[in-house]
Chains A and B, each alone.
Chain A
Amino acid sequence: MSALMTLTVLAQAAAGEVGSGRIQGGWGYVWVSYGITWGAFALYSLSLWLRRPKNSPAGPKE
């Protein structure tokens, strides 16, 4: 969610540049990208952990 907000902020910033130069690359784009990646991995791990088989004989680990 926060990644999404950062993205909208970025989009607005980019839109504000119209007429005042070029679209600039930079670390902002990189951090948003890596944030999305790591966040997706973390959230998916969390969802797997929440959905873990409950009463399995293998035991509720991880």
Chain B
Amino acid sequence: MKRPAPIGLFRAAFVLLGKDLLIEWRTRARLNALVFFSLSTLLLFSFALGPDTKLLERNAGGYLWLAILFASTLSMGESFRIEYENACLDGLRLAPADARAIFLAKAMGNTLLLVALGGLLIPVMVALYGVKVVLGVGPLLATLALGCMALAAPGTVYAAIASNARARDVLLPLLLFPLIVPALLASAKAMMLVLQGDPMNQLNSWFGLLGGFNLIYWGLGFALFPRVIED
């Protein structure tokens, strides 16, 4: 019997990503739930703050990222819960694939899901809060992608930890929220600049900060993740 050759890290990651996306596409349960959850979050912000349209418009970027953040804690916990059910994660680990491939696949999957969520939320926000996208679609998508990546990488590591622990619903936000404050701050500021114009030419600096944090989070997550899911 010939031993199967180990497949490359990135190929394995893309195979796993394809599997996760297929599951997601077949059910679409997660994305649907997330969209409704974050839509109601956006609505709640406008109710809680009263009819001050100006206030809503000025802070729209921050509210959008808070809605995405709250939704992300639900979605990332779920992405590992489906693996722990029926011990699927053990099966993945037994397959000749690297644990780091699992990290890449899960983190990319979570990023894509959050970007899709953000893409659905922005038109709603434009209508609901009356904001204008001053800088155009390109910077908007760049902000969304960079911010979601910065949320997804540490979120994936911590979700793998939290979904296996007691009180997992409390633990994930508790671990994740402080860690991603800098990234959230940068994303929210960048989004506000995209929506309101950029008088001081700061957008590229915020992108640089987001890029730096992405490198830190993805590098550390990639290096440490195998230890998280080992037995």
**Touching chains A and B, CB distance < 8 Å:** no
